[in-house]
Structures are given as structure tokens and as C-alpha cells.
Amino acid sequence: MRTIIEPFKIKMVEALQMTTREQREQIISSVDFNPFLIRSEDVLIDLLTDSGTSSMSDRQWAALISADEAYAGSRSYFKFEDKIQEITGFKHVIPTHQGRAAERILFSVATKQGDIVPNNTHFDTTRANIEFTKAIAVDLQDEACTDPELEAPFKGNLDLEKLRALLEEVGPERIPLGMITVTNNASGGQPVSMANIRATSELLRSHDIPFIIDACRFSENAYFIKTREAGYADKSLLEIAQEMFSMADGCTMSAKKDAFANIGGFLAINNDEWAVQARTLLVLTEGFPTYGGLAGRDLAAIAQGLDEVLDEDYMQYRIRSTQYLGDNLEKVGVPIYKPTGGHAIYINARKFLPHIPPEHFPGQALVVEMYIEGGIRAVEIGSVMFGKTNPDTGALIPAKNELVRMAIPRRVYTQSHVDYVIEAMGDLARRKDAVQGLQFKLEAPVLRHFTSTFKRL
Ligand SMILES: *Cc1c(COP(=O)(O)O)cnc(C)c1O
């Protein structure tokens, strides 16, 4: 097979600022070894997140310019609503400024103290918004699938036995809704099969529990279904997405992911009562129901982006280029979470730096070295992000895995950028035994990865 090329050409460019290794050494120590605190112009290849970092297409920019900025009844809203209804089939489309605003509104309407919300794995903002209503967010992923080494096609799946057990234990009255996140961002960006979505839907609906999809990467998930699940090879991504959503009662979505937008999101639901309450809250904190905290131009860019993300040539390139990075990192001796997911590569830092114990944060040590080695910015997903300090002993309660996520912005970097990353990581692999661990200089009380500072041992 020939090389799968970027299915676009470049019409506008943004210069990258080169730095030397000495400069990067100085920069990373000036921010106390936390890459979140580096200015983006000092980063060469920024793999911190795929959220809001996509390149928009010429058609999206054109849609931006011709958008309707009316306060009420904007033409751009109706385009947005039409596109979302075409894909999801949901009756009420409620625009929000981000995915988490859709979550906040949904849970404010649907959950209360003591309720339980199951999901394959809750994303951190989803969990936080559920817990904010004093309800309980429960992860029901298959235990075996949290092993970075296991090769399986749908490691994002929800464990139906666990859902059945939960229903029996607490009763359906305490479960106002159930969720599935596609792809499973908090667990390696792994996909969920159509069979698993169907079985989850049937089980929830047999107890009259609404089923909501966290749809941030719905098209990436549809592509995995097309290429990995029997019976879907000849279906279009749109048809697969429509089938996924037909089994649900609503979805939350961050348009900063699979809609190629720099901001935006939405809540789409069938329940009329929820929709009335959701729009009441929307007016309070986001805006009038036909813009919901977004400019008309954002709605237009999202509608266009949702069309483009279902293009198969794009998605083949997207998934293949992520896999190319993963395969080649393994070749240069960097162990990764397998198989490669859709939007990111997760390096297994515990395996890469076995001489650094969790107490000395191997993932954080690795992101620091990646910046020094190549000006590459990534994020630790390990004991800095998810570990806790025992208040009595001061000892670390480590996270389950010590990972580093390299998220791939959509349509931003070319193959030579990716090759550069692979070369830099190969050089880093050759000197990895000399990499030192870190300790806290200042430990932030919550969301430690954003603002904590560190020092070398
Ligand atoms: C990004 C994300 C969200 C939240 O969306 P924001 O636009 O960042 O508020 C929710 N769920 C998943 C799976 C996500 O990846």
C-alpha cells in the first residue's frame, strides 16, 4: 500500500520558533519543571491536548465570515441544529461554550444528591460536574482493559456485568441516567464497539434509564467500528454515527474535539422536560437558546466541521497517522499503551523509566526531558495528576498507571513533524537511564498537574 498522505494542502502557515537545548534547559527550570507553565511560543511541537487546537479548513473560515450574528433566530444556529440533528437524530439541540457547560446543565437538570451515574470511564470534567450535584460518578470499565499491554480492539467498552451488578445493588431509582464515552479519553483513547453500545442501551432502557453518549470523539469511534467490528466495513461514518446515536436518548459534546472548532459544544436530548429546564439554565449562564454562549461564527464553524469530520479520507489519515507515531515510537524503544487509540499516544513511563519509582514521578520526569530533548510538550497522566498524598503519613498514594499523553491536534502537524518527534524520542531513549526523578516544590491542593511546581532530586 502507498503512503497515506495528509488529505489536505496548506493555505496558511504559522511560523514555529526554534529554540536551542540550552534555552530549553533554562526555560523548563524557570517554570519549575511544569510544562503547563511554558509559553506556547517556546514550544516547538505542542502535544499537550487535541482540545481546541485543530486547524480549521478554508470552508470553516468561509463559514465564519458569512455567519449570522443575530441574537435570536440566527441562520447559523439553524445550520448547526440541522447538522446535529442529521447526525444524532436528537430533538433538542442546545449550544454551549464548551463540553463541560453541556455537562453542567445536564447534571443540574438530571441528577441530585445520592444519585449514581455509571459510565465506561468518566472524563475528569464529567466526574467533577456530577460530583458538584452531590451525585456519585461510577466507572465501569472492564478491569483487564486498563492493562497497557493488552491488545484488544475495543478496550474502551463498558463492563455489562458490572452495570448489571450496580443496577441490582442500588436499584434503578438511584440511577437517573447512564453514560458511555466515545472514544474513552480517560482510558487510553480506546474505542467502544457498537455491540457494547447496543447492549448498554438495552440494559439501561429495560429499566427506563435514559442513556447519554459523551460524544466528543464520535467520528473517531465510528471509524474504529468500521475497521474493527464485523458488519460495518461498507457503512459510511455518518451511517455508523447515526446508528450509535439511535440507541441513546441524548449526548454531550465538546466541539473542540471532533468538530475542528477552537471553542464550543452542545447538549442534544430527546426529553422535552429536560430540554425546558436546560434552556432555562442556559439563558441564566450561557445565553439565549439559539447561541448559548457562542458567536454565530462559532456555530457556523462547528456545523461545517461536523461535516468534515465524517469524511473517510480524513479519518483514515487521522487514525493512521496516530498509529504511525505509536508504531515508530515502539521501534525506537519507547513503550506505549496498546493498541494505539484515536487522538493520542500514551507512553508507559513506568516501563520506560523503571529506575524512577512513582514517588519521584516518572511521567513528569519524562515530559520534562521531552521538552529539553526536542521542544515537545506532553502531559503527565500518572501520580502527579491522579496520585494523592496521605494526609497522615505524607506518603504518596500512587495512580494506577504512570503514563504520558501525546495528544495529536487535528490537521496541524505534517509527517515530517511526526518524524522529528520520533527521532527526538529515539535520542531520549538512548540516554533514559540517566534521567532523574522529581519531587514537589509546591504541591497544588487540587488538579495538581496544572499548577504544581517541582525540583530535581
Ligand atoms: C474534552 C472532553 C470533555 C469536556 O469538554 P470541554 O470542551 O473541554 O469542556 C468531556 N468529555 C470528554 C471525553 C472530553 O474529551
Nearest-Å Rg of the Cα atoms of the chain is: 22
Within 6 Å (CB) of ligand 1, which residues are found? 51, 98-100, 123, 125-126, 181, 185, 214, 216, 254, 256-257, 265
Q: Which atom of ligand 1 is nearest to the CA of 183?
A: 13
**Residue 255 CA: which ligand 1 atom is closest?**
7
Q: Domains along the chain?
A: 21-50+312-456 (3.90.1150.10), 58-308 (3.40.640.10)
pLDDT in tens, 114-129: 999 999 999 989 999 9
Nearest residue (by CA) to ligand 1, atom 5, is: 99
| Residue 72 Cα to ligand 1 middle (Å) | 27
What is the arithmetic mean of pLDDT over 98-106? 97
Ligand 1, pocket-test mutation among 257, 267, 343, 408, most atoms within 8 A of CB: 257
**Which residues, in sequence order, are CB contacts of 275 under 8 Å at separation 6+?**
91, 92, 94, 269
pLDDT tier for residue 291 given thresholds of 50, 70 and 90:
very high
The pTM for the full model equals 0.95
Biggest alpha carbon–alpha carbon distance for the chain: 62
Ligand 1 centre and the CA of 202: distance in Å? Answer: 26
The residues, ordered by sequence, that sit 6+ positions from 339 with a Cβ below 8 Å of its Cβ are 151, 152, 153, 155, 326
Ligand 1 centroid to Cα of residue 99, in Å, is 5
- pLDDT tens per residue, range 32-88: 999 999 999 999 999 999 999 999 999 999 999 999 999 999 999 999 999 999 999
